[in-house]
A and B are shown apart, each in its own frame.
Chain A
Amino acid sequence: MSQTETQGDLLLTDQPLARRRIMNILGPMLGLILIVFAGGIAEYFKEGSINYWSPQNQCMILTQTVVVALGAIGMTMVIISAGIDLSAGSVIALSACAAAYVVREVATPGVSTLAGSQAVWLPLVAIGAGILVGGLAGATNGLLITRLRLAPFIITLGMMTFARGLAKGVANMQRIDAPMNWISQFTNANLSLFRLDVTWGPMSWFGPVAISTAVLVTIVLAIAAAIVLGRTRFGRHIFAIGSNEDCARLCGVRVERVKWGVYAIAGALFGLAGVVDFGRLSVGDPTTALGKELDIIAAVIIGGGSFNGGVGNVFGSLIGALLMAHLRNLCVHLGLPNYVQEMVVGAVIVVAVTVDKVRQGKKE
Chain B
Amino acid sequence: MIGISKSFGSTRALVDVDLQVRPGEVHALVGENGAGKSTLMKVLSGALEPDAGRMVLEGEPYTPRGPLQARACGVAMIYQELSLAPDMSVEENVLLGVEPMRLGFVRRAEMRRQVQEALRLLHHPDIHPAARVGDLSIGAQQLVEVARALAADARVVVMDEPTSSLTQADTEVLFKVIRQLRDAGVSVIYISHFLEEVRAIADRFTVLRDGQAVGTGVVAETPTSQIIRLMVGRELEDMYHRTRHEVGEPVLDLAALTGEDIPLDADLELRRGEILGIAGLIGSGRTELVRAVFGLDPVASGEVRVLGVTCTGWGPPRMIRHGVGYLSEDRKTEGLAGNLTVADNLTLSRLEPYTRFGLLSRSRMKEAARRWIGRLGIRTQGPDQPVDSLSGGNQQKVALARLLHQEADVLLLDEPTRGIDVGSKADIYGLIGELAAQGKAILWISSYLPELLGVCDSLGVMHRGTLSEKRAVADWSPEAIMEVATGGEIVADEITAESEDPLGRTGKGGV
User: Which residues on A are within 8 Å of B, measured CB to CB?
Assistant: 1-14, 16-18, 227, 230-233, 235-236, 239-240, 243-244, 246-254, 310-311, 364
| Closest chain B residue, CB of each to CB of A249 | B316
A243 to B387, CA, bound (A): 11
The reply to whether the CB of B358 lies closer than 8 angstroms to some CB of chain A is yes
Q: A2-B36, A13-B386, A233-B351 are in contact. List 13 more A-B contacts (CB 8 A).
A: A3-B11, A3-B418, A8-B9, A9-B393, A230-B362, A232-B355, A233-B352, A236-B360, A240-B344, A250-B316, A251-B402, A252-B316, A252-B406
| Closest chain A residue, CB of each to CB of B291 | A250
A240 to B347, CA, bound (A): 11
Nearest Cβ in chain A — how far from B47, in angstroms? 13
Q: Which residues of A contact B326 (CB under 8 A)?
A: 250
Beta-carbon contact of B336 and A247 below 8 Å: yes
* Residue among A17, A254, A364 making CB contact with B385, cutoff 8 Å: A17
* Residue among A2, A9, A247, A248 making CB contact with B394, cutoff 8 Å: A9
Nearest Cβ in chain A — how far from B331, in angstroms? 9
Q: Which residues of A contact B510 (CB under 8 A)?
A: 2
Nearest Cβ in chain B — how far from A274, in angstroms? 28
A249 to B423, CA, bound (A): 30
The reply to whether the CB of B317 lies closer than 8 angstroms to some CB of chain A is yes
A13 to B341, CA, bound (A): 12
Q: Which residues of A contact B355 (CB under 8 A)?
A: 232-233
Nearest Cβ in chain A — how far from B392, in angstroms? 5
Beta-carbon contact of A17 and B386 below 8 Å: yes
Beta-carbon contact of A7 and B8 below 8 Å: yes
Q: Which residues of B contact A235 (CB under 8 A)?
A: 360
* Residue among B348, B380, B420, B511 making CB contact with A6, cutoff 8 Å: B420
Nearest Cβ in chain A — how far from B290, in angstroms? 11
1/0 contact trace for B378-396 toward A, CB 8 Å?
0111101110011111100
A11 to B342, CA, bound (A): 13
Q: Which residues of B contact A8 (CB under 8 A)?
A: 9-11, 391, 421
Known contacts A1-B418, A7-B8, A250-B326; A243/B338 CB under 8 A: yes
Interface residues of B in 346-387 (CB under 8 A from A): 348-349, 351-352, 355, 358-360, 362, 379-382, 384-386
A311 to B341, CA, bound (A): 12
Q: Which residues of A contact B392 (CB under 8 A)?
A: 5-7
The reply to whether the CB of B39 lies closer than 8 angstroms to some CB of chain A is yes
Beta-carbon contact of A231 and B362 below 8 Å: yes
The reply to whether the CB of B205 lies closer than 8 angstroms to some CB of chain A is no
A227 to B360, CA, bound (A): 9
| Closest chain B residue, CB of each to CB of A235 | B360
Known contacts A11-B379, A240-B337, A253-B348; A3/B362 CB under 8 A: no
Q: Which residues of A contact B359 (CB under 8 A)?
A: 227, 231-232
Interface residues of B in 414-430 (CB under 8 A from A): 418-421, 423
Q: Which residues of A contact B351 (CB under 8 A)?
A: 233, 236
Of listed B319, B320, B326, B340, residue having the most chain A CB within 10 A: B340
Q: Which residues of A contact B8 (CB under 8 A)?
A: 4-7
Beta-carbon contact of A231 and B349 below 8 Å: no
- 5 example contacts (A-B, Cβ-Cβ < 8 A) are as follows A2-B33, A6-B421, A9-B393, A12-B389, A250-B294
A10 to B10, CA, bound (A): 10
Interface residues of B in 297-339 (CB under 8 A from A): 316-317, 319-321, 326, 328, 333-339
Of listed A1, A14, A227, A232, residue having the most chain B CB within 10 A: A1
The reply to whether the CB of B13 lies closer than 8 angstroms to some CB of chain A is yes
Interface residues of B in 18-54 (CB under 8 A from A): 33-34, 36, 38-39
Q: Which residues of A contact B335 (CB under 8 A)?
A: 247
* Residue among B34, B296, B352, B381 making CB contact with A250, cutoff 8 Å: B296
Beta-carbon contact of A4 and B334 below 8 Å: no
Beta-carbon contact of B420 and A16 below 8 Å: no
Beta-carbon contact of B334 and A247 below 8 Å: yes
Nearest Cβ in chain A — how far from B262, in angstroms? 19
Beta-carbon contact of A11 and B389 below 8 Å: yes
Of listed A3, A9, A13, A243, residue having the most chain B CB within 10 A: A3
Beta-carbon contact of A239 and B33 below 8 Å: no
A156 to B253, CA, bound (A): 45
Nearest Cβ in chain A — how far from B369, in angstroms? 12
* Residue among A1, A233, A247, A364 making CB contact with B511, cutoff 8 Å: A1
Nearest Cβ in chain B — how far from A86, in angstroms? 24
Q: Which residues of B contact A11 (CB under 8 A)?
A: 379-381, 385, 389-391
Beta-carbon contact of B38 and A2 below 8 Å: yes
Beta-carbon contact of B391 and A7 below 8 Å: yes
* Residue among B344, B385, B386, B391 making CB contact with A9, cutoff 8 Å: B391
Interface residues of B in 71-108 (CB under 8 A from A): none
Known contacts A230-B362, A231-B359, A233-B355; A4/B11 CB under 8 A: yes
Nearest Cβ in chain B — how far from A83, in angstroms? 16
Known contacts A2-B38, A254-B317; A244/B336 CB under 8 A: yes
Known contacts A9-B421, A10-B9; A2/B393 CB under 8 A: no
| Closest chain A residue, CB of each to CB of B403 | A251
Beta-carbon contact of A2 and B419 below 8 Å: yes
* Residue among B319, B339, B385, B511 making CB contact with A311, cutoff 8 Å: B339
Beta-carbon contact of A16 and B385 below 8 Å: yes
Q: Which residues of B contact A231 (CB under 8 A)?
A: 359-360, 362
Across the A-B interface, give the 8 residue pairs with the lowest CB-CB distance, nearest first: A243-B337, A17-B384, A251-B349, A8-B10, A8-B9, A4-B13, A252-B320, A252-B317
A232 to B354, CA, bound (A): 9
Beta-carbon contact of B9 and A2 below 8 Å: no
Nearest Cβ in chain A — how far from B412, in angstroms? 10
| Closest chain B residue, CB of each to CB of A234 | B358
A239 to B338, CA, bound (A): 11
Q: Which residues of A contact B423 (CB under 8 A)?
A: 9
Q: Which residues of A contact B349 (CB under 8 A)?
A: 251-252
Beta-carbon contact of B419 and A248 below 8 Å: no
